[in-house]
Amino acid sequence: MIRDRFSENIKKDMSTEEWLICQDTYDPQENLKNESLFALSNGYLGIRGSFEEGTRVTLPYLYVNGVFDKSETFMRELAALPNWLGVRLYVEKELIGIENCEILEFSRVLDMKHAVLYKQYVLKDKKGRVTKVEGRRFVSRHNVHRMAIELFVTPVNYDGIIEAENIIDGTIVNFYDAPRFKVKHMYLTANETLGEHGVYIESATRDRHLHVGTGCVLEAYKDGRPVMRNRMFHAFGEQAVEFGDVPVTEGETVRLVKYVSMYTERECPAYALHTTIKEEVDHFMEDGLETELRFHENVYDAMWEEADVCFEGDPELNRAVRFNIFHLMSTGNETDDRVSVGAKLLTGEEYGGHAFWDIELFMLPFFSYVFPKMAQNMENYRYYLLDAARENAKKNGYKGAQYPWESADDGTEQCPDWTIEPDGTCYRCYVAMYEHHVTADVAYGIYDYVRITKDLDFLYGRGAEVLTETARFWASRCEYVAEKDRYEINQVTGPDEWHEPVNNNLYTNYFARWNLRYVMSLIRTMKEERPDDYEALMKKTGLKEEELEFWNTVQSKIYLPRKEGTNLLEQFEGYFQLKDVVIDQYDENDWPIRPEALKTCKARETQILKQPDVVLLLHLLGEEFEPELMKENYDYYEKRTLHGSSLSPSIYSVMGLKVGDDSKAYRYLKRAALIDLLNLQKNTREGIHAANAGGVWQTIVFGFAGVSIGKDGILNVKPNMPKEWSSLTFRLHYDNAWLEIRTDGNNQAEVRRLDGAPVGIWINGEKKEI
Ligand code: BGC
């Protein structure tokens, strides 16, 4: 048991085994992956799981959501901020560090139940001095401006003095280990003492001069009394360091606590940053680490009450599922509606912290059902950027609002035009130019959020405005082809990015039509039932009856490609004419092996896909299609999908279950749940795959528990449990109720209302009042 390696100081608070992710050997080659896995976030900021003393291989990033900057990069990205993690301990100038000493014992443990990262090691230095170090860190979710590190240090075979350095490191740059891309987004504006003790660094983003302050105090205690002596502050360029002596006695433990606070100009005027942070640290020290930690744990306990998914039969997989939920919920924000959730959460630097369609289709269902307030904030984030989307449409020659493929803080397109490979070769990146479906995905997100939460005020106000402007975009994006008497959408990329660009991507065309139809019926309802909202919408958007009539014509004539005389939907016009390459070999994990044919031709010349496209449409709008059609299309496209994106396996799992082919569903779930823990995509160093994390939750709730909302708008539960599980339990918010759903191995479901108003739902085909 990993817990037994820790002393009572730590063990008393550590959760039980099923909540722990453990690392029990130190391999520097694994550092970057582990930094992502062990990252901690509290919705406000995220810090990677680097070591306090520093290691050679590291990307020690700290981000505050919403603090973006461009400088010399291609796009605005989350800026790597001064990092407060540094605590370096020395004995007679020898660093007590994981890479400087012989490792006698080592473990790190992420406690997902309480979002605490533990570590324990016993190190022997060159002179044979042995030191035991154990400790923990957390970024408080109770007060997001408080973070702490606690270390218990025991000199096993020596007495003397441990020299301690309390560091804030402002030298960290984005893309630290990539010479070509390195960028420093922050410039220093202050490097000084925090107060009588402690260090303070203030820096600002280079483009918009947004100030960020970080302050901390390192204290050492023996038997509860402060023992740090000879403190000295040093400003080393962009590093702030406070030195102090800690007297130690053989076999006796000293406790070091680093109390940290951060604020940015997003919450506090620049002139007040230093004093605010100083006061926060002072109060934190008065309250004590334990008090804050207890509050933080209580918040996490409450969050898990909402979010836990528990099944009997496969504890390892359950832990992996919790790991995905843990990172996703840790990043969601219930108080700030000007930020969204990036494709790598706040755990790594790929995609610069940008929000993609990953939000609406992969993460939003989780947030809407589990943390509706966070979902509402994500919806408001899109609403605030509506003007920028209007500008974007105008710039590209369209009407209405066109959402950017990648979105940061100001809503302008943040997808780079160029991609540069590590060897320096450049290629043009056309994603932003062609991947227009994101605008329909944003519209669909509103519909989905509202049908789950029944937040009609949002729908009839902000939601209707976005839906109107996105519909307007589609009406202007469609081209009328007179000789065929139909509307077409040409030169787009669908979800499958390996065919770029194409004409009449079914997914895009279908969702353009869906957007037009949905808003038209919404406006009719508003006119009858919410005349004031209707008037306000017409006034705000300048919408007229003639325009609605035009939309009606467009939607009735949008071309939806399919193979004539069959049930097969065609991914895009001409897809079936491409070389038909099928996946017919699978590896030992039942994962598709890249077909030989792709050695001689490019994927885009074949029918091989990166990720679901038609199948995703069927997943999202299943109630519009007949079961046989869904099955035939699933069978056809599944054999041609290589899962080149982490957004792929979960959708195939849910859809496999939906069409009655559950042979692979469980393996797809395993693949998705373990993507980061086993580094299956080989890029976990860049951060946790956020969309996949949302997909894992969907696989269980929509797939195995069979939760859906039918055409009647009512929640439906129709389980399809894997033979490996004997029960499955989770909780959802739906309408105004909070429900617990429990399913047994025979697909019998029980639904209990834990809170809120009575609600009617379908359980295995029977309507029940809960
Ligand atoms: C996928 C996109 C996704 C993006 C960010 C790409 O590899 O193809 O669908 O939005 O990653 O997660």
Averaged confidence pLDDT in the chain: 97
Which residues neighbour 589 within 8 Å (Cβ) at sequence distance 6 or greater?
Answer: 667, 671
Give Cα 372 to chain centroid, integer Å: 16
Cα 583 to ligand 1 centre (Å)? 22
Ligand 1 close to Cβ of residue 343 (< 6 A): yes
| 3-state per-residue secondary structure call for 484-515 | HCEEECCCECCCCCCCCCECCCHHHHHHHHHH
Give the HSE-up count for residue 453: Cα atoms under 13 Å, Cβ half-sphere: 26
Q: What is the pLDDT of residue 520?
A: 98
Q: What is the pLDDT of residue 48?
A: 98
- Asked if residue 420 has pLDDT above 90, the reply is no
Strands 760-763 and 715-717 come out as parallel
User: Are 323 and 692 spatial neighbours (Cβ–Cβ below 8 Å)?
Assistant: no
Which of 57, 53, 20 minimizes the C-alpha distance to 123?
53
Q: What is the pLDDT of residue 423?
A: 78
Angle of CA points 376, 377, 378, to nearest 5°: 90
Which helix (H) or strand (E) covers residue 686, if one does? none
Cα 206 to ligand 1 centre (Å)? 29
Which of 712, 568, 701 minimizes the C-alpha distance to 640?
568
What is the CATH number that goes with domain 385-561?
Answer: 1.50.10.10
Atom index in ligand 1 nearest the CA of residue 610 equals 8
Exposure b/e, 282-308, CB count within 10 A at least 16 = b: bebeeeebeebbeebbebbeebbebbb
Average pLDDT of span 462-486: 98
- Would you tell me how many other CB atoms lie within 10 Å of the CB of residue 765? 7
Amino acid occupying residue 68? F
Ligand 1 close to Cβ of residue 356 (< 6 A): yes
- Asked if residue 1 has pLDDT above 90, the reply is no
d(CA 366, CA 531): 33
d(CA 671, CA 694): 14
- In the structure encoding, which two tokens stand for residue 514, read together? 């869906």
- Asked if residue 457 has pLDDT above 90, the reply is yes
Give how far Cα 240 sits from Cα of 92, 210, 272, Å.
22, 20, 20
- Asked if residue 611 has pLDDT above 90, the reply is yes
Q: What is the pLDDT of residue 587?
A: 85
For residue 12, say whether it is annotated as part of any ligand binding site. no
- In the structure encoding, which two tokens stand for residue 759, read together? 């609600």
Q: What is the pLDDT of residue 231?
A: 98
- Asked if residue 419 has pLDDT above 90, the reply is no
pLDDT interval class at 671 (50, 70, 90): very high
Question: By alpha-carbon position, which residue is closest to atom 5 of ligand 1?
Answer: 343
User: Are 107 and 35 spatial neighbours (Cβ–Cβ below 8 Å)?
Assistant: no
Give how far Cα 111 sits from Cα of 23, 211, 330, 554, Å.
12, 32, 13, 54
d(CA 77, CA 174): 9
Burial class (CB in 10 A: 0-12, 13-18, 19+), 196: exposed
For residue 358, say whether it is annotated as part of any ligand binding site. yes
Average pLDDT of span 246-264: 98
Atom index in ligand 1 nearest the CA of residue 358 equals 10
- Asked if residue 422 has pLDDT above 90, the reply is no
- In the structure encoding, which two tokens stand for residue 193, read together? 């003492």
> Following DSSP, what letter does each residue of 198-223 receive, concatenated?
SEEEEEEETTT--EEEEEEEEEEEET
For residue 584, say whether it is annotated as part of any ligand binding site. no
Q: Worst-scoring range by mean pLDDT, 45-59, 410-424, 425-439?
A: 410-424
- Asked if residue 548 has pLDDT above 90, the reply is yes
How much of the chain is helix, strand and coil, in % rounded to 5?
A: 35, 25, 40
pLDDT interval class at 730 (50, 70, 90): very high
User: DSSP assignment, residue 174?
Assistant: B
Cα 357 to ligand 1 centre (Å)? 8
Amino acid occupying residue 508? T
- Asked if residue 105 has pLDDT above 80, the reply is yes
CATH number 2.40.50.140 is the correct assignment for the domain at 3-306: no
Q: What are the pLDDT digits (tens) for 311-356?
A: 999 999 999 999 999 999 999 999 999 999 999 999 999 999 999 9
Angle of CA points 109, 94, 220, to nearest 5°: 60
Atom index in ligand 1 nearest the CA of residue 691 equals 12
Cα 41 to ligand 1 centre (Å)? 22
Amino acid occupying residue 262? M
**604: region left, alpha or beta (phi > 0 left; psi from -120 to 50 alpha):** alpha
Give Cα 11 to chain centroid, integer Å: 30
Average pLDDT of span 648-654: 96
Which residues neighbour 422 within 8 Å (Cβ) at sequence distance 6 or greater?
Answer: 178, 180
User: Are 615 and 630 spatial neighbours (Cβ–Cβ below 8 Å)?
Assistant: no
Average pLDDT of span 632-659: 96
Q: What is the pLDDT of residue 179?
A: 87
Residue keyed to tokens 């009588």: 196
Peptide bond into 501 cis (omega under 30): yes
Exposure b/e, 225-257, CB count within 10 A at least 16 = b: eebbeebebeeeebbbbbbbbbebeeeebbbbb
d(CA 27, CA 34): 10
Burial class (CB in 10 A: 0-12, 13-18, 19+), 630: buried
Atom index in ligand 1 nearest the CA of residue 343 equals 12
Q: What are the pLDDT digits (tens) for 8-53?
A: 999 999 999 999 999 999 999 999 999 999 999 999 999 999 999 9
Ligand 1 close to Cβ of residue 6 (< 6 A): no
> Which residues are 117's β-sheet partners?
110, 137
d(CA 279, CA 261): 9
Average pLDDT of span 468-475: 98
Which helix (H) or strand (E) covers residue 20, if one does? strand 20-23
> Among 349, 413, 497, 686, which one carries the catalytic annotation?
497
- Asked if residue 424 has pLDDT above 80, the reply is no
Q: Residue 342: helix, strand or coil by DSSP?
A: coil
Tell me which of 437, 497, 619, 684 to substitute to probe ligand 1's pocket, judged by most ligand atoms within 8 Å of the beta carbon: 497
d(CA 598, CA 585): 13
Ligand 1 close to Cβ of residue 497 (< 6 A): yes
Q: What is the pLDDT of residue 427?
A: 84
Which residues neighbour 46 within 8 Å (Cβ) at sequence distance 6 or greater?
Answer: 39, 40, 62, 63, 65, 139, 330, 331, 345, 346, 347
Atom index in ligand 1 nearest the CA of residue 357 equals 10
Question: By alpha-carbon position, which residue is closest to atom 7 of ligand 1?
Answer: 645
- Asked if residue 583 has pLDDT above 80, the reply is yes
Q: What is the pLDDT of residue 500?
A: 94
Cα 646 to ligand 1 centre (Å)? 8
Question: By alpha-carbon position, which residue is closest to atom 6 of ligand 1?
Answer: 645
Question: By alpha-carbon position, which residue is closest to atom 12 of ligand 1?
Answer: 343
- Domain boundary assignment for the chain: 3-306, 385-561
Average pLDDT of span 488-505: 97
Atom index in ligand 1 nearest the CA of residue 690 equals 12
d(CA 308, CA 328): 12
User: Are 244 and 180 spatial neighbours (Cβ–Cβ below 8 Å)?
Assistant: no
> Which residues are 211's β-sheet partners?
204
Give how far Cα 344 sits from Cα of 48, 349, 547, Å.
12, 7, 40
pLDDT interval class at 588 (50, 70, 90): confident
Average pLDDT of span 715-739: 97
Q: What is the pLDDT of residue 591?
A: 81
For residue 611, say whether it is annotated as part of any ligand binding site. yes
Question: By alpha-carbon position, which residue is closest to atom 9 of ligand 1?
Answer: 495
Q: What is the pLDDT of residue 305?
A: 98
pLDDT above 90 as % of the chain: 95
Please tell me the pTM assigned to this model: 0.97
Q: What is the pLDDT of residue 272?
A: 98
Cα 645 to ligand 1 centre (Å)? 6
Ligand 1 close to Cβ of residue 645 (< 6 A): yes
> Following DSSP, what letter does each residue of 527-583 receive, concatenated?
HHH-HHHHHHHHHHHT--HHHHHHHHHHHHTB---B-TTSSPBPSSTTGGGSB----
Question: By alpha-carbon position, which residue is closest to atom 3 of ligand 1?
Answer: 358
- Asked if residue 421 has pLDDT above 80, the reply is no
Average pLDDT of span 159-186: 95
Cα 647 to ligand 1 centre (Å)? 7
Residue count (the chain): 770
Residue 242 annotated in active site: no
Average pLDDT of span 557-572: 97
Q: What are the pLDDT digits (tens) for 114-124?
A: 999 999 999 99
Question: By alpha-carbon position, which residue is closest to atom 8 of ligand 1?
Answer: 645
